[in-house]
Every structure is written in C-alpha cells, then in structure tokens.
C-alpha cells in the first residue's frame, strides 16, 4: 500500500520584493484507497501545496519533508515524481501548440509505464477512456489544451489520470469552471479510478459542490498556508453552512496573540 | 559588364550585376552586412578563387532534362542578376549553370532530388530550374559537406505552372553556405519554397521573388535550428511589381547555446502598379537557452493602398517553463519534453512543405541535436506501421 507523507512543510516563492512564505507547516498523510478533501479560501496556498508536491521549480521548500513510501520526493525531479506515481491534475492546464493530444498521451504513458504500449491496444484504451469522459474523438488530433474550453481542459486532465494510473492523485480545483453535467462526467471518471483502489486522492477545492459526487473520507480546512482543522465528511457540511469565516478569524486571533 | 541600376526603393537592391567588382568589399558596417560575422565567411566576401568543385547530382526522371549551360549564355538576364558581392562571386566563380528543365505541360510525379555536396575548400555552383508552362513539379535540394560554398538557385516558373521546392542546408559544423534563391513567376504561377537550415557554421540564405505577370502566388516557408554558436541568417525580398499577386512568408527558428545567432530580415515591396495583391509575412523565434540571440526585422513598403491584404508580424519568445513543467509532470523527461515543444513549434511549417518524408527526416535531425534519438520514433508514432 502506498503512502504519501507530508511533514511540517514550509515553502516560499521568490517575488520582486523578496522571498514570500506561502506554506507554513503542512502535515498530511494520504494512503492508497483514501480520499482527502482540502478546502480553503482563495489565496490560502492550496495550489502551492499541489505544485510543491509535484515539484514546480517556482517554489522553494524551506523546511519539512515529503515522502512516498519512504522515498524522498523532494530529491526527485518533476518527471521522476510522476514516474514514481504522483499525478497532479492542474487548476490551469497549460497549452502546448503543435503537440497533439494523442502524441502527448502516448509519450507520457510510455514514460510512466516504462515501455511503449502496443499501438493497437493503446488506441483502443485511449478511445475507450475518451468515450467514458464524453470527449469527442477529434480531440486526439488537436493540440494539447489549445483552444479547449475550461470544461474540456478538466476532462483532459482526468483522461490523463485514468490512463496514467497514479498511486497518489492530486486534483486541484478540478470542479472549477464545470457546469453540472460536466461536473458529473468528471466526477464519475475520478470515482471510476478511485474504485480501482489503486489511488490515494487529494481533492483540492474551494466549494463543497464536488463533494456531493466524490465522497471524501477526510476533510481538511486550509487557511494561511496550513491545515487548521481536520475531520470527517461532516466537516464539509459545516463549511457549506458556515463558510471559512470562523477559521480565518481563529487564525487571525492566533497571529495577533 | 556594367552594373545595372535597379528601380529605386528603400529595400530593393541598388546595384545588381554579374560582375563582383561592381560591388564594394563589405566592411560589416553596411546595413545589409551588419549582422553577418565577416571573419567567419572563409574569405567569400573578398574575392577568393574556387579551390574545389562541388558535386552536383540530379536524379533522373521522365520529363526532366538536365544540362550544363555556359554562364555567358544566361548573363543577359538583368532581373535575375546577383544583388551583392558574394552572389556575384558565386556566379562568376562557377564553372557553368546546371539547368534542370521541365517541359511545358508535364507533371513530374516524384520529387526531383538534387544534392550539392561541398568538399573542403572554396566552391561555387549555380543551379537553374525552369518549369514549363502548365507543368507541375517538386524539387528537393540538399546541401551537404564541409566546404566554404556560395551559390545561386534560380527557379523560373512559367505561366500557370506549379513548383514546390525544398532547400535543406545540412552541412558539417565547419561549413559555410552563402546562397541566394531567386524565384520568378509567370502569369498565375504558383511556387512554394521551403528553406530549412540545420547545419554549417555560418549560413546566409537570401530568397527573392520576382513577378513577371499578374496573378503569381508564392509561399515562402523557412525553418532554422541553430545551436553551438551557429550563425543562421535568412533574408527575404518579395518584389510585388505586378497586379493580383500573392505572397505568404512564414519563417520559424529555434535556437540555443552561447553565441548562437539567428537573423531574419523580411522585406516586402509593393510597387504602385501592384494593385490587388495580398501579402503577409511573419517570423517567429523560440529561444531555448540563455546566450542565444535572434534578430528579426520585418519591413513592408507599400506604394499603393489598393491591396487585398498586407501585413507582417514578428515575435521572439523564450522557452516556456510552464509547458516544460506540464510535460514533465506527466513523466516525460527534460530532453524529450524539449523535443515535444520544438516539434510542436515547427509542426505547422513541416506539415506544409509538400515534400513527402521531409518533415520526418528534419525532425529526426533536430531531435538528435536536442539529445533524443531512439525513444522518439516509437513514442511519437513515427514507426506505427512497424508496431502494429
Ligand atoms: N509565483 C508567485 N508569485 C507571487 N505570489 C504567489 C505566487 N504563487 C502564489 N503566490 C501567492 O501565494 C498565495 C497562495 O496562492 P495559491 O495559488 O497557492 O492559492 P490557492 O489557495 O490555490 O487559491 P485559489 O483558491 O484562488 O486557487 C497567494 O497569495 C498568491 O498570490
Ligand atoms: Mg488554487
């Protein structure tokens, strides 16, 4: 069973005005088979947490550790992390002009699996995965994310999740920009993969809406660069009713004192 | 031979002549030479004697006649005359002109393959491709070898003909190539030219277009990949002197490495009589690393406002870290991710050359220069037939 362990993680970003700390001591352990929802207000550092786990060069880790089954993730390059079984579905997927979805998917599947999938099997696999997410087959020949609508980009991220079969999947606001139908299709994709039992899922979201489709085992409230409260699914209901105000106020009070 | 004065304009050459001495020896201060590192020209700009003979070979195909024509027979042609000292040296220093003629009303199914191998030393060659009226042909020209070379390629497309030309410079790292491609279009002729510059230490490639009748349509495509301190300079001059012509110029370059320099100068002149023309030129460059530099200067000179369209654009961008991150976050290692991005950048040019197999061989060369060899073929679907 795979486990991603984040201990006392601090990270900062270099800005024009100097180093700006964003993550301030994150502790979180995710095991295969579990789903953790991380919820927090805008700007609290949720995407930063996702990027730091994936190894984005923009952020420096100043303290703490991330391990995957005991292996030091922070020592790995971005692509090594992906090959080790980490996957990040991005909040803002990047456009890559001239690179077709089909070449991109086959190249990444080859990298992650360690060998090129046999062409005929691969085409079948890709076609089925696309159909399951209601992605039109013509997307295979389009440039990666170029001219995709917000919803199409998110579906394309989940398509990659299903094809790359990671041990730990981090979904950063996969629900944003989706209408109800698209949210259902995307959630079904995530649930299909979760049901395989192969993955631990970190679901980052601002709203509780997606939690009606993807049921978390644990809910964490993220404010000002760290987790300030953890609980079961009932915590999401509290957040839905009361918002983040209480938690933000508590953090302010503790900083002030 | 006395110099011929060309019609005055900001961008048309002021002097054209078959005689090198009609042109001053460049000092590097002239506008047209200021980007070129003269010291690396192997003396081409002075007046070197040929010390070697390039090996020019032309594949034999039905409907295509190949012959050697003395220089003197073609020297009366003022509008095809050399435009600078090196192009005049390349003319006068050549032994003869290799004439590749396609008879009128002929369709040549396979591409005519022309190879120009430049041995060590200084060598010159002249090539002329005459496409008869109503004929269709495609021609793939390939430069190889280690020499210092200057040459000229004339493409004369007669009325209603259609020619697809690709010129690939893939010489050795020590080589020099200063060449000029001149395209002349008859009424409603259609010419597509792709210039693909990969090899040699210094390349200076001129492409010029002349319309002799209304309705000519030219597409100039360019692709250059420069690294390891290479100098790749591409100059374009489209002279719209006739009504209802079309020109579309797209050059794309990728470059990396300390001291690597690419230059693109695109001049389009629309003369007063050239009403109803449509022209667009663009240069895009992708800088892959620090220390490499791209200069890009588009010029559009309009002497009439009665055009269908006239535009130009130029953009030089840096390699996008976010694209790299996205690809690497999907397990793709750094070298392969760069290959994907560069392939993507060149995809539109390579998809349009009209020469079968060219895109693949060019990309494999570039892949290898970016450090990727075996993996790509399989992953990128190149060898799919073999796989299934
Ligand atoms: N590259 C950067 N340069 C400067 N500031 C940054 C950078 N990246 C993040 N930040 C800042 O760090 C904080 C956290 O940003 P982050 O994107 O992680 O928040 P978030 O919780 O994902 O917000 P949202 O809900 O809007 O997606 C913000 O104040 C943001 O402005
Ligand atoms: Mg975010």
Of residues A146 and A257, more confidence is placed in: A146
What is the pLDDT, as a whole number, of residue B374? 65
A180 token code pair: 């109800």
Does the pLDDT value for residue B387 go beyond 60? no
A10-56 pLDDT tens trace: 999 999 999 999 999 999 999 999 999 999 999 999 999 999 999 99
- Residue in the structure block whose two tokens are 């000179």: B301
Report how far ligand 1's centroid is from the alpha carbon of B127 (Å): 61
d(CA A23, CA A42): 14
Query: How far apart are the C-alpha atoms of A157 and B193, rounded to whole Å?
Result: 40
Which of A18, A46, A207 most suits a substitution to test ligand 1, by most atoms within 8 Å of the C-beta? A46
The average confidence (pLDDT) of chain B is 93
A17 in contact with ligand 1, CB cutoff 6 A: no
- Which residue of A79, A97, A102 is in closest CB contact with B331? A79
The complex's ipTM works out to 0.96
Residue contact B344–A143, C-beta within 8 A: yes
B351–chain A nearest CA distance, Å: 10
pLDDT band at B76 (very low <50, low <70, confident <90, very high): confident
* pLDDT on residue B384: 40
Tens digit of pLDDT for each residue in B14-30?
789 999 999 999 999 99
Q: What span, in angstroms and rounded, lies between the C-alpha atoms of A135 and A145?
A: 13
Tell me the two tokens of residue B233.
């300079």
User: What Cα–Cα distance (Å) separates residue A38 from each residue in A26, A206, B352, B381?
Assistant: 11, 8, 48, 39
Pocket test for ligand 1, best of A9, A10, A13 (most atoms within 8 A of CB): A13
**Which residue has the CA at smallest separation from atom 6 of ligand 1?**
A13
- Which residue in A54, A98, A106 is closest to B381 by CB distance? A106
Environment class of residue B372 by beta-carbon count within 10 Å: exposed (0-12), middle (13-18) or buried (19+)? Answer: buried
The SS3 of residue A221 is: strand
Is the Cβ pair B334, A79 closer than 8 Å?
A: yes
Each residue of B173-206: pLDDT tens digit? 999 999 999 999 999 999 999 999 999 999 999 9
> Which residue, chain included where needed, has tokens 């007669």?
B158
pLDDT score for A112: 97
**Spatial separation of the C-alpha atoms in residues B102 and B66, rounded to whole Å:** 9
Tell which residue, A118, A108, A41, has the closest CA to residue B336.
A108
B384 touches chain A (CB under 8 A): yes
Dihedral-angle region of residue B189 (phi above 0 means left; psi in -120 to 50 means alpha; beta otherwise): beta
Strands, sheet with A200-205, edge to edge from the N-terminal-most edge strand: A86-89, A168-172, A200-205, A35-39, A218-223, A226-231
Q: Which tops the pLDDT comparison, A196 or A89?
A: A89
Verify whether ligand 1 is closer than 6 Å to residue A189 (CB atom). Answer: no
Whose alpha carbon is nearest atom 22 of ligand 1?
A: A47
Query: What integer pLDDT is reported at residue B11 of this predicted model?
Result: 67
d(CA A196, CA A189): 11
The closest-lying atom of ligand 1 relative to the alpha carbon of residue A48 is 18
Q: Which long-range contacts link B27-35 to residues 24+ away (Cβ below 8 Å)?
A: B32/B84, B32/B235, B35/B233, B35/B261, B35/B263, B35/B265, B35/B295
Which of B331, B336, B378 best tests the A interface by mutation, with the highest count of A CBs <10 A?
Answer: B331
């Amino acid at each position: 069973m795979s486990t991603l362990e984040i201990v006392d993680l601090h990270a900062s970003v270099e800005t024009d005005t100097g180093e700006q700390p964003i993550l301030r001591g994150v502790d979180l352990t995710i095991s295969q088979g579990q789903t953790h929802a991380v919820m927090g207000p805008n700007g609290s550092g949720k995407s930063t947490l996702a990027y730091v786990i994936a190894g984005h060069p923009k952020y420096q880790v100043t303290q703490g550790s991330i391990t995957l089954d005991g292996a030091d993730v922070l020592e790995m390059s971005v692509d090594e992390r992906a090959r080790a079984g980490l996957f990040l579905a991005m909040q803002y997927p990047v456009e890559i002009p001239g690179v077709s979805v089909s070449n991109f998917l086959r190249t990444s599947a080859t990298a992650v699996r360690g060998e090129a999938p046999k062409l005929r099997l691969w085409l079948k696999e890709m076609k089925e995965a696309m159909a399951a997410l209601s992605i039109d087959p013509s997307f295979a020949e389009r440039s990666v994310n170029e001219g995709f609508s917000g919803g199409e980009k998110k579906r394309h991220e989940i398509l990659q999740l299903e094809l790359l079969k990671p041990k730990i999947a981090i979904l950063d606001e996969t629900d944003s920009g989706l209408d109800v139908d698209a949210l259902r299709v995307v959630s079904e994709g995530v649930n299909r993969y979760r049901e395989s039992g192969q993955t631990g899922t970190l679901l980052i979201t601002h709203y509780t809406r997606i939690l009606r489709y993807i049921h978390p085992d644990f809910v964490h409230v993220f404010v000002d660069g760290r987790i300030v409260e953890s609980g079961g699914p009932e915590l999401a209901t509290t957040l839905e009713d009361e918002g983040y105000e209480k938690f933000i106020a508590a953090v302010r009070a503790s900083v002030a004192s | 031979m006395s110099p011929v004065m060309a019609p005055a304009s900001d961008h048309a050459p002021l002097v054209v002549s078959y005689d090198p001495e009609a042109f001053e020896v460049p000092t590097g201060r002239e506008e047209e030479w200021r980007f070129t590192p003269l010291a690396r020209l192997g003396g081409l700009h002075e007046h070197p004697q040929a010390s070697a003979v390039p090996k020019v070979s032309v594949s034999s195909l039905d409907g295509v006649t190949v012959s050697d024509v003395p220089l003197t027979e073609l020297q009366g042609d003022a509008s095809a005359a050399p435009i600078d000292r090196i192009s005049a040296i390349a003319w006068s220093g050549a032994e003869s002109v290799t004439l590749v003629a396609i008879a009128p009303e002929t369709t040549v199914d396979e591409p005519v393959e022309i190879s120009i191998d430049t041995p060590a030393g200084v060598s010159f060659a002249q090539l002329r491709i005459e496409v008869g009226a109503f004929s269709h042909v495609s021609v793939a020209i390939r430069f190889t070898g280690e020499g210092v070379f200057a040459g000229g390629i004339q493409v004369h497309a007669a009325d209603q003909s259609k020619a697809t030309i690709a010129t690939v410079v893939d010489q050795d790292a020590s080589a020099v190539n200063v060449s000029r491609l001149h395209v002349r279009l008859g009424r409603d002729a259609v010419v597509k030219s792709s210039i693909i510059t990969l090899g040699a230490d210094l390349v200076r490639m001129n492409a010029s277009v002349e319309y002799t009748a209304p309705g000519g349509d030219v597409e100039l495509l360019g692709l250059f990949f420069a690294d390891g301190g290479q100098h790749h300079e591409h100059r374009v001059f489209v002279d719209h002197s006739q009504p209802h012509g079309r020109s579309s110029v797209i050059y794309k370059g990728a470059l990396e490495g300390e001291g690597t320099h690419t230059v693109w100068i695109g001049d389009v002149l629309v003369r007063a009589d050239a009403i109803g023309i449509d022209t667009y030129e663009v240069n895009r460059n992708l800088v892959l690393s620090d220390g490499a530099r791209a200069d890009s200067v588009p010029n559009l000179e309009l002497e009439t406002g009665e055009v269908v369209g006239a535009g130009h654009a130029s953009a030089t961008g840096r390699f996008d870290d976010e694209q790299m991150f996205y690809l690497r976050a999907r397990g793709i290692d750094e070298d392969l991710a760069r290959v994907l991005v560069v392939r993507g950048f060149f995809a539109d040019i390579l998809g349009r050359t009209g020469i079968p197999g060219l895109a693949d061989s060019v990309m494999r060369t570039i892949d290898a220069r970016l450090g990727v060899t075996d993996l790509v073929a399989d992953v990128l679907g190149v060898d799919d037939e073999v796989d299934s």
